[in-house]
């Protein structure tokens, strides 16, 4: 319909201005191309503007700061079709309301894509806005299911939090831990519920767990801002933007009494400070639980906190290769990031390189549409790291289990998890 209308306008213009048809066609379609290019916000004559909204000043600032550092190291000095990359990173204090405000401001300013945003509740808040404006969401630091596939044009790098939890639970159960002795401490929002979903997915495959699965479904399906989720099942929760562990801990102790099955493994899906506080409080109360953390908890501050207290029986899951990997992309990250290299900054670096690989896969004019087409159904080699987008919008399903050795978390094989439960 659009092209037929354009053709009719074209014929009328030829008759009115009495120009040779070839010359008129050049003028007319050149004006159309200029108009289309002008409407592609974030693409300018010499630059491509990319936005990031991260926590740079609040409790999870280690995550946002490290992602920013990694992305900047990956894209520094790079040019795309002769254009430099203008990377604009702003702080949202891990507050969904501020995230929306900053997103609107950047959209008005003009950004081609959002890259490496941190936070699940903050992502939930702005994804509809990005979809409305047809702006790609690339490599967000969130393992929530809301990004898979999610609303709008979303390109993920990492495995989900559910996948992290599932990988750990399967290894623990294979090591002899009964699912009846597995509990969880999570943030009371979509971030934490991603972990509970992983718990449910594992438990519903185990015999004798149907009643527990029902309690998990009840917990997952509760709606509202900071709803009541404690004292329902084998889950304790804490409110976002707090670090209090008492109520969540009490919920787990009440479950132990109600079920008659003590927690042996407690899976946490929390930001760094609440995770560290929960570890510290449970140890203070004399609990010998093995406690696991997802990737979003493992920052330098978290490691420093648990190292200073000499805590043991701690496991973590990660979604990036080991920092001592021989992959070319890890070697490049080591050289560029040096003492700033950690799992989070490495993820930012990978996300930045993934963005470059996709945009360089565009053989025509750079538009948001051509960017999405350049990744859908593709397998990308990013410095030796294989990212597969042939079946979904998530490039990697990799999950690595690591154990705390008193100084740091070091990768272990799944079969080594059994040793942790013998301590």
pLDDT, tens digit, 9 for 90 and up, residues 162-208: 999 999 999 999 999 999 999 999 999 999 999 999 999 999 999 99
Contacts of 195 (CB under 8 A, 6+ apart): 161, 162, 164, 165, 184, 186, 267, 268, 269, 294
Beta partners for residue 291, in sequence order: 266, 314
Measured distance CA(53)–CA(119) in Å, rounded: 9
What does the alpha-carbon distance between residue 9 and residue 23 come to, in Å, rounded to a whole number? 15
How do strand 265-269 and strand 182-187 relate by DSSP bridges?
A: parallel
**CATH number assigned to the domain covering 47-159+324-388:** 3.40.50.2300
Tell me the pLDDT tens digit for each residue of 37-55.
Answer: 335 889 999 999 999 999 9
- The model's pLDDT over 260-284, given as tens digits with 9 standing for 90+, comes to 999 999 999 999 999 999 999 999 9
Q: What is the mean pLDDT of residues 17-38?
A: 42
Name the band, by pLDDT with cuts 50, 70 and 90, for residue 159. very high
- 139 vs 155: CA distance, rounded Å: 6
DSSP characters over 112-135: SEEE--B-HHHHHHHHHHHHHTT-
**The CATH number, out of the four listed (3.30.565.10, 3.30.450.150, 1.10.460.10, 3.40.50.2300), of the domain defined by the range 161-318+400-420:** 3.40.50.2300
Strand ranges across the sheet with 235-238: 235-238, 182-187, 265-269, 290-293, 314-318, 400-404, 409-411
* pTM score of the predicted model: 0.86
Domain residue ranges of the chain, discontinuous segments joined by +: 47-159+324-388, 161-318+400-420
- Does 186 sit behind a cis peptide bond, omega within 30 degrees of 0 on the bond before it? no
Cβ partners under 8 Å of residue 153, min gap 6: 130, 131, 134, 135, 136, 137, 368, 372
Chain segment 235-251, per-residue pLDDT in tens: 999 999 899 999 999 99
For residue 24, the model assigns a pLDDT of 42
pLDDT band at residue 423 under the 50/70/90 scheme: low
Question: Partners of 267 in the beta sheet?
Answer: 184, 292
pLDDT score, position 35: 38
């Amino acid at each position: 319909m659009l092209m037929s209308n354009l053709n009719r306008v074209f014929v009328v213009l030829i008759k009115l201005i009495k120009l040779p048809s070839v010359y008129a066609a050049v003028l007319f379609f050149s004006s159309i191309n200029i108009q289309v290019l002008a409407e592609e916000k974030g693409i300018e004559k010499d630059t491509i503007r990319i936005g990031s909204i991260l926590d740079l000043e609040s409790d999870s600032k280690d995550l946002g700061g490290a992602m920013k550092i990694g992305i900047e190291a990956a894209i520094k000095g790079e040019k795309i079709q002769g254009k430099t990359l203008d990377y604009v990173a702003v702080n949202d204090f891990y507050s969904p309301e501020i995230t929306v405000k900053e997103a609107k401001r950047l959209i008005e300013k003009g950004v081609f894509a959002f890259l490496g945003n941190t936070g699940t509740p903050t992502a939930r808040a702005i994804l509809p806005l990005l979809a409305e404006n047809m702006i790609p969401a690339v490599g967000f630091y969130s393992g929530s299911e809301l990004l898979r596939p999610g609303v709008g044009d979303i390109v993920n790098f990492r495995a989900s939090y559910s996948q992290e939890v599932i990988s750990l639970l399967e290894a623990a159960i294979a090591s002899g831990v009964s699912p009846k002795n597995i509990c969880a401490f999570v943030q009371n929002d979509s971030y934490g519920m991603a972990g509970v979903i992983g718990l449910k997915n594992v438990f519903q495959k185990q015999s004798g767990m149907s009643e527990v699965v029902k309690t998990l479904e009840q917990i997952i399906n509760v709606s509202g801002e900071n709803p009541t989720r404690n004292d329902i099942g084998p889950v304790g929760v804490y409110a976002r933007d707090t670090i209090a562990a008492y109520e969540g801990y009490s919920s787990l102790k009440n479950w132990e009494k109600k079920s008659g099955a003590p927690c042996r493994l407690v899976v946490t899906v929390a930001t760094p400070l609440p995770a560290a506080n929960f570890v510290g409080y449970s140890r203070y109360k004399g609990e010998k639980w093995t406690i696991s953390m997802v990737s979003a908890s493992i920052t330098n501050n978290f490691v420093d906190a648990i190292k200073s207290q000499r805590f043991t029986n701690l496991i973590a899951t990660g979604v990036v290769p080991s920092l001592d990997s021989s992959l070319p992309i890890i070697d490049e990250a080591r050289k560029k990031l040096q003492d700033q290299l950690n799992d989070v900054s490495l993820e930012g670096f990978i996300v930045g390189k993934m963005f470059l690989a996709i945009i360089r896969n565009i053989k025509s004019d750079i538009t948001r549409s051509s960017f999405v087409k350049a990744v859908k159904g593709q397998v990308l080699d990013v410095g030796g790291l294989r990212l597969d987008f042939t079946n979904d919008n998530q490039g990697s399903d990799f999950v690595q289990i690591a154990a705390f050795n008193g100084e740091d978390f070091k990768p272990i094989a799944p079969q080594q998890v059994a040793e942790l439960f013998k301590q």
